[in-house]
Amino acid sequence: MSHFGQNIKQLFNQCIDLNPTEQKAVIAASEFDEEVKAKVTSMLKHHHINYGLTAAMIEEVTEDMGLEQLKAGDALNEYRLIKMLGQGGQGEVWLAKRTDPNFEQQVAIKVLKPIHSRLELNRFQAERNLLATLNHPNIAQLYGGGTHNDGRLYMVLEYIDGINILDHTRKAKLNLTQRLKLFLQVAKAVQFAHQNGIIHRDIKPNNILVDPSNQIKLLDFGIAKHVDAEVTETINERMLTMAYSSPEQLTGEAVSTVTDVYALGLVLYQLLTDQNAHVNSTSTPAEIIIDVTEKTPPLPSKCTSNEVSFKNRLQGDLDNIVMLAIRKTPANRYQSVDSLIHDVEQHLKGRPVSASGENWLYKVKKLIRRNPLSSLMTALTVASFLTLFVIISNVNVTVKAQRDLALAAQSEAEQQTQLAMKTKDFLVTLLRSASPLGSEGKEITLSQVLAQGERQLLNSADDQPHLKTTLIQTFAEIQSNLGNNENAVNFLSQSIAIGKKHGFIDIELQGIGQSAIALMWLGKNDDAQRLFKEADALFLQTNNVEAKAWHLARKATWLQESGKQESSEKMALQGISLLKNNGIDNPGLLGRFYNELAAANRHRNNEQALIYNDKSLKAAELSTGINHPYYQMRLVSRSVILMRLKRHEEAEKTLQTALKIAEKLYSKNHPILAHTWSELATFYHNKGHFNKAKNAYEHTLSMLETTLGKENVHYILPLNNLAFLNEDMGNWTLAEKQFSESLALRKKVLKNQPMRIASVQANLARLLAKMNRSNEAAHYLKLAMPVFRQSKRNNIYNQVTDTAIALNRSCEIGETSLNQLLPELNTQNTGWRKMYAQFWLSSLSQACGLTDIADDLKKQAKEQLDDVYDINSIGYKNLSSQWFN
């Protein structure tokens, strides 16, 4: 660490736990120079923001303090780092090995992050101290620890080469008994921790690994505490996974060993049913809180996805064991892990369990099941008495159950009232923290928010160039998502200038690459290509692997949108190899590459496109979760691929799922929600469900007009599709009006995108030709076809229109054109475009007396009808009656 960095760290540590007034006094009275004081003042200002230091700020401060980022090959005393295994709130975890050649051993090393609060330091030290007391075969062991040369603490842990417990049970296809025995290993590890006075507080499947010898290893005691420790967690401090939290953790009440019992109950529930007790993968934070604190999950036997025999074995004892472990009120659960272990072991032995009650009939049944032969004679002897006792026992059980239910309902109602209030307070706190702009109670629009943010941005953070460029690039991304690519380019030019001024190659590389993409969307492909050449030069200068990978991802997008699918695919595969060869596991970036690979294959190999789409979805779920735009948009892309593969039922279900997620994420008229409706409309259109498609298109346009107005690309595209639908429905006058409106809007809004203009000119040409307005049709076709050729787009259906115009004007000339066209038309994939083209040409050929050609085209069109439209759709019925009766 440099002398300057040491001074910063010393003063920062003196101030970090003081209030702002005390911090100012200490800084003013210190003897450090003004540059050190200014840097510490800046660090402290950001340290107290609820969301903590940004990655860019940490990187900047790290550089200023003379600290270096850890990398593969670095040595920590007798260990050498191999690759990063992960990173979290406290720091990084690395796979490492001893440098001593006589002692081969792989370990996991957890290193505290360079910039940390006193609370984070205390947590790290506490975890190290706790692990030092836990020597158990089912708990990942602490081998030692030390201090890096820059002052950061680290601990050396047992490296577990395994998978989480849920993945293991599914992969190994474990039966019920095997799952219960595996669970007992987990419970006994927790029991051992409790015996040593330690509460884990973060038991969840990802913290439970199974090694190659099928031995459980419990990990991550990062938020564990001693039983007698006084710990108060605020909402901002909580470091736990909400879906595996107990009600008392979410409501801020005291935790105890019974909290771990609850978490073990949730793990057992999922082991037995393959489903989460409280939530599903699409739940929002608010829904999770309500589920955990208010709702009782269904019995495991009622929701298991396993086979019936498996399900039947859950009824009774296992249902009772699990439900007792996960009761809302701590006092009503098992009061120790020992009790939970005892019941599971009793069940495996076929003996009575405490969770199922103490009545004598239950115990007799258990006895008979354990000893069926020896119990047979006794059972026959007492059969006459047993009937009477059963009747009396059942009456008693019924009375007791009704009494218990009444008391439980009263207690539960009281608890839920309290929990509802606390949950409300918790949510209000979250909502307030998410509303930093002072609006004096007035409603504010997105444009106002962006304008205010831009004003603040332009007049702040000049002394933090990394942070400022991050914010600028975020504003650019927002503008691009709104379709305002010119504004995006203006923002990005600012970030590029800052990058050049300070010598930040990675920031300059990112800004230039994003600008190139924005220019591409503006139709300025030559300018985009020029910028990518600049970016290629910077790519060779940087050593930042992820910065290089992002450049390759952006370039893959550009190549794909430029119609160079094979080049795009090679670029994406190069990016994936770059990440894997450097041991970088970045799900967000990998997901982007897989998404580009899916796009590159969607017109060439839809089966392969679907495989890549699967990978992009899994990566998105891992990096952002299901309730995120990345996942939602990739679901929409998946539906399109499924349509092309003629897996229409799956495509519709996928679109409906995407729509539900969009409705959770966005306001009712949001453009992305509207886009999802538009894709659903296209699906209905393609399958012949014209009324459904019309309603969905009109709903889409209404949403977009309300939010963005008509002069926007998001409005223009579905307008064209609605016109297409009206053409197919025979509403040609209305279709002409809508195509004309779409063309006028495109010339105004998309004037730099000639292909967008040419596509609607081609649509108008086709419609006008059908309406026998050949001269007007020829005019639009003459404008469109050269653009299609220049853009290397398929011109075959424009040639169909051209042939139709020729047949209308002269049967002799038309026949020549038709004979030239048909061989190429026959090579096109089956679909509604080809079907309509064949029928249209069939009708025109019949009118010209070309009977053989007409009959052949009509036959081919008829063969496609069953494949294209659903048999019960309006499109199918209309075309059947029109064409083939």
> What does the pLDDT look like over 415-453, one tens digit per residue?
433 333 333 333 333 333 334 434 444 554 556 556 655
Q: Is the pLDDT of residue 657 over 80?
A: yes
- pLDDT at position 779 is 96
Give pLDDT tens digits for 820-834.
999 999 888 878 889
Mean pLDDT of the chain: 78
Q: Is 95 in a helix, a strand, or coil?
A: strand
- The CA distance from 524 to 517, in Å, is 10
Any idea what the Cα angle at residue 447 is, between residues 428 and 493, rounded to 5°? 115
Give pLDDT tens digits for 771-783.
999 999 999 999 9
Q: Is 644 in a helix, a strand, or coil?
A: helix
- pLDDT at position 372 is 45
Instruction: List all residues 6 or more positions away from 488 whose beta carbon is below 8 Å from its beta carbon.
Output: 476, 477, 479, 480, 514, 515, 518
- pLDDT at position 451 is 63
pLDDT band at 461 (very low <50, low <70, confident <90, very high): low
- pLDDT at position 821 is 93
- pLDDT at position 709 is 86
**DSSP, res 205:** G
Give pLDDT tens digits for 162-173.
898 999 998 888
- The CA distance from 781 to 789, in Å, is 12
- The CA distance from 276 to 58, in Å, is 36
Any idea what the Cα angle at residue 678 is, between residues 675 and 679, rounded to 5°? 90
Any idea what the Cα angle at residue 558 is, between residues 554 and 563, rounded to 5°? 150
Q: Is the pLDDT of residue 573 over 70?
A: yes
- The CA distance from 847 to 595, in Å, is 48
- pLDDT at position 55 is 40
- pLDDT at position 379 is 42
- pLDDT at position 392 is 40
pLDDT band at 382 (very low <50, low <70, confident <90, very high): very low
Q: Is the pLDDT of residue 496 over 50?
A: yes
Q: Is the pLDDT of residue 11 over 60?
A: yes
Bridge partners of 108? 95, 157
Helix (H) or strand (E) holding 147: strand 142-147
Q: Is the pLDDT of residue 107 over 70?
A: yes
Name the least confident of 30-44, 467-481, 539-553: 467-481
In the chain, % of residues over pLDDT 90: 27
Q: Is the pLDDT of residue 630 over 70?
A: yes
- pLDDT at position 53 is 36
Give pLDDT tens digits for 29-67.
888 888 888 877 766 664 443 333 334 434 444 444 445
Q: Helices 257-273 and 337-348, interaxial angle, to 10°?
A: 30
Domains 75-158 and 163-357 share a fold: no
Q: Is the pLDDT of residue 767 over 70?
A: yes
Name the least confident of 294-303, 354-363, 651-660: 354-363
Give pLDDT tens digits for 696-731.
999 999 988 888 888 887 889 899 999 999 999 999
Q: Is the pLDDT of residue 122 over 80?
A: no
- pLDDT at position 571 is 93
Mean pLDDT of the region 522-530: 84
Structure tokens, 766: 């086709």
Mean pLDDT of the region 120-135: 77
Name the one residue in this structure whose structure tokens are 């005393």.
Answer: 77
Q: How many CB atoms lie within 10 A of CB 610?
A: 19
* C-alpha dihedral sign at 86, 89, 92, 93: negative
Q: Which is higher by pLDDT, 623 or 868?
A: 868
- pLDDT at position 449 is 54
- pLDDT at position 116 is 61
- The CA distance from 636 to 673, in Å, is 11
Mean pLDDT of the region 676-696: 92
Q: Is the pLDDT of residue 565 over 70?
A: yes
- pLDDT at position 385 is 39
- Give the 3-state secondary structure percentages of the chain, helix then strand then coil, rounded to 5: 65, 5, 25
Contact 865, 876 (CB under 8 A): yes
- The CA distance from 797 to 759, in Å, is 11
- pLDDT at position 398 is 47
What is the residue extent of each domain of the chain?
3-64, 75-158, 163-357, 358-435
- pLDDT at position 404 is 52
- pLDDT at position 311 is 64
Q: Is the pLDDT of residue 736 over 90?
A: yes
Helix (H) or strand (E) holding 319: helix 317-325
Q: Helices 257-273 and 317-325, interaxial angle, to 10°?
A: 140
Q: Is the pLDDT of residue 672 over 90?
A: no
CATH of segment(s) 75-158? 3.30.200.20
Assigned CATH class of 163-357: mainly alpha
Give pLDDT tens digits for 502-514.
888 888 898 898 8
Give pLDDT tens digits for 331-372.
889 999 999 998 998 888 878 888 765 544 444 445 445 444
How much is the pTM?
0.49
- The CA distance from 555 to 792, in Å, is 19
Q: What is the phi/psi pair of residue 834, to 5°? A: -65, -40
Helix (H) or strand (E) holding 163: strand 163-164
Look at residues 162, 200, 168 and name the one whose alpha carbon lies nearest to residue 182: 168
pLDDT band at 209 (very low <50, low <70, confident <90, very high): very high
Structure tokens, 689: 């469900």
Mean pLDDT of the region 253-273: 88
* C-alpha dihedral sign at 228, 230, 236, 237: negative
- The CA distance from 596 to 575, in Å, is 11
- pLDDT at position 316 is 81
Structure tokens, 723: 């016109």
- pLDDT at position 857 is 92
Pairing of strands 79-87, 75-76: antiparallel
- The CA distance from 13 to 769, in Å, is 79
Name the least confident of 290-294, 512-516, 577-581: 290-294
pLDDT band at 130 (very low <50, low <70, confident <90, very high): confident
First to last CA, the chain: 87
- The CA distance from 245 to 264, in Å, is 11
- The CA distance from 628 to 313, in Å, is 38
pLDDT band at 68 (very low <50, low <70, confident <90, very high): low
Mean pLDDT of the region 19-35: 82
Name the least confident of 404-408, 636-640, 784-788: 404-408
Give the type of residue at 530.
Answer: R
Give pLDDT tens digits for 782-797.
999 999 888 878 899 9
Contact 291, 242 (CB under 8 A): no
Any idea what the Cα angle at residue 566 is, between residues 563 and 572, rounded to 5°? 105
Mean pLDDT of the region 450-477: 67
Look at residues 798, 879, 873 and name the one whose alpha carbon lies nearest to residue 835: 879
